[in-house]
Amino acid sequence: MIVVSNTSPLCYLVLIGAADILPKLYGEVLTTHTVLVELRHPDAPDAVRLWAATPPDWLRVHPDPHEPDQSLTSLHAGERTAVLLAEEVHADVLLLDDAAARTLALQRHLKVSGLLGVLRDAAEAGLVDLPAAVDQFRRTSFRASPELLRSQLPPPNLQPGGGREALP
């Protein structure tokens, strides 16, 4: 499976200590030089900069695609290069969280998943506890509506006495 990632999924998986689920789900993950530069940016969280200073072996950093494409100018540089790399390598999945980037990628017939989709897949594979991971995201700067976060959780279990567990 060929998987390309933008900055956001890598950043937030590092922040919650779950980046190691990527090679377990996909083997290796491809990204671009620009994405690596974004992960190393002085404004990035310390844990992310430290992780990106010596990327793991499963993260394959490719040179940025040089194809000028005016239809992608509205995207940030990392998103733009990730979309182009995904097209270049015929990726099976492109990991993106930004709504505008996802829309453009889908228009280009790329299959996309976001951070929450990765976590959902990891939970189905028994690699993470999804409610705990969602709780960890709430403590970061990851922006998602409470409804979206709740939609990723399994349905509440019935408790003895007929009550339902409250959603976190």
What are the domain boundaries of the chain?
A: 3-118
Residue ranges of the chain with per-residue pLDDT less than 50 = 145, 148, 155-168
Q: How far apart are CA 80 and CA 63, in angstroms?
A: 13
What is the predicted pLDDT for the residue at 115? Answer: 87
Q: Work out the end-to-end distance of the chain between its first and last CA atoms, rounded to an integer number of angstroms.
A: 34
What is the predicted pLDDT for the residue at 165? Answer: 36
Please provide residue 19's backbone torsions phi and psi, each rounded to the nearest 5 degrees: -60, -25
What is the predicted pLDDT for the residue at 167? Answer: 36
If you ran DSSP here, which 8-state letter would residue 44 be given?
S
CATH class of 3-118: alpha beta
What is the predicted pLDDT for the residue at 14? Answer: 94
Contact 86, 94 (CB under 8 A): yes
Indicate the pTM of the whole model.
Answer: 0.81
**Length of the chain (residues):** 168
What is the predicted pLDDT for the residue at 133? Answer: 74
